[in-house]
Amino acid sequence: MPLLPPTDRDLNKEFEVIRSRKRNLGQPAYTCLSMQNDSHDAVEGCWAAPLGNCGGGISHEHLVSECLFKDQSVFVQGLDWCLNKPKQVRIEKLTGKILCKNHNTALCKLDAAAGLGFEAIRNAVKMNEDRAKMLYINWAHQQFIIDGRNLERWFLKTLLNFSFNRKLIIGPGNHSAGTVPEKLVRIAFGLDNFEEGAGLYTAFRPRETFILEDRFRFTAKAQGPNLVVGGFIFRGFRFFLNLLPQRLEMIEGSNLFYRRANFAWLIGNRESHRIIIDWSASKIHPYVRRHGA
């Protein structure tokens, strides 16, 4: 079924806010566990050290939150150990000594919040599959709201997990390779904001396919020695985290939408449902907004 291009239209309308009665989208019980297993590729230290208050020791942590993508492989590309082609790694093997216990615990809620965003994407893509099989039903319109700011912070956290103590300079500038500038640490912890133009983008190409596959991809994009953009793919949705303080318009032949965006699916000639990446407030709990009946 066709998916309309996203728009940056004003999202500050008042909608009736209700939890979906049809689908159980309650908050999943995410847990944060420290990994004690050996990693083939361990690194030392805590990337949040510029904030102070490190404590509890450094433990092995997952580079990609395992609780969000259970029993899966992740494709990674662009780092020193997977520079030119994607490398497939089991998520449970992808660990490193990247955060102390205190700072890892402080980011736990962020994993839960991002998990709700990925759940919304899963549900919207699944809804498209389900509804397309029953065109004769007059489906109620549904909206899936994703908290853009939390999703942006989670992508930044994941980018930092991957690039900490590695060979690229993280972000613009000429600080030491593999170190995390304090500003980026503060943004990841929700204490600061990106400058205009930096932050989260969604990419869209006409006739783009969105798939049920649950796999997650991360690509580090460098400009000379600097890691400047992180690319993330989930269920066919492409997100880019720009670390440069300038607007990007296109990437890889796709239009880019800065922060707020809408993705609407058509079933027959009616809009069936929509994903909204919302920037109006930081929300921890998911909700589904529905209008029409």
Residues that bind Zn ion (CB under 5 A): 46, 48, 54, 100, 103
Q: Count Cβ atoms below 10 Å from residue 2 Cβ, excluding itself.
A: 11
Q: Indicate the residue among 61 and 152 with the shorter CB distance to Zn ion.
A: 61
Q: Indicate the residue among 128 and 158 with the shorter CB distance to Zn ion.
A: 158
CB of 282 to Zn ion, least distance (A): 23
Q: Indicate the residue among 32 and 266 with the shorter CB distance to Zn ion.
A: 32
CB of 28 to Zn ion, least distance (A): 27
Mode of pairing for the β-strands spanning 73-77 and 87-90 = antiparallel
Q: Indicate the residue among 63 and 120 with the shorter CB distance to Zn ion.
A: 63
CA atoms within 13 A on the CB side of 243: 27
189-224 in b/e form (b: 16+ CB < 10 A) is beeeebeeebbbbbbbeeeeebeeeebbbbbbbbee
Task: Tell me how far apart the alpha carbons of residues 268 and 254 are, in angstroms, rounded to a whole number.
Answer: 26
Give the position of tokens 């707020």: 260
Q: What token pair was written down for 86? A: 């994607």
Q: What token pair was written down for 153? A: 């912070």
The kind and range of the H/E element at 154 are helix 148-163
CB of 49 to Zn ion, least distance (A): 5
CB of 31 to Zn ion, least distance (A): 20
User: Would you say the C-alpha torsion 78, 82, 84, 85 has a positive or negative sign?
Assistant: negative
Q: Indicate the residue among 5 and 56 with the shorter CB distance to Zn ion.
A: 56
Q: Indicate the residue among 35 and 248 with the shorter CB distance to Zn ion.
A: 35
- 78 residue type, one letter: G
Q: What token pair was written down for 198? A: 């930096």
CB of 53 to Zn ion, least distance (A): 7
CB of 58 to Zn ion, least distance (A): 8
Q: Indicate the residue among 107 and 159 with the shorter CB distance to Zn ion.
A: 107
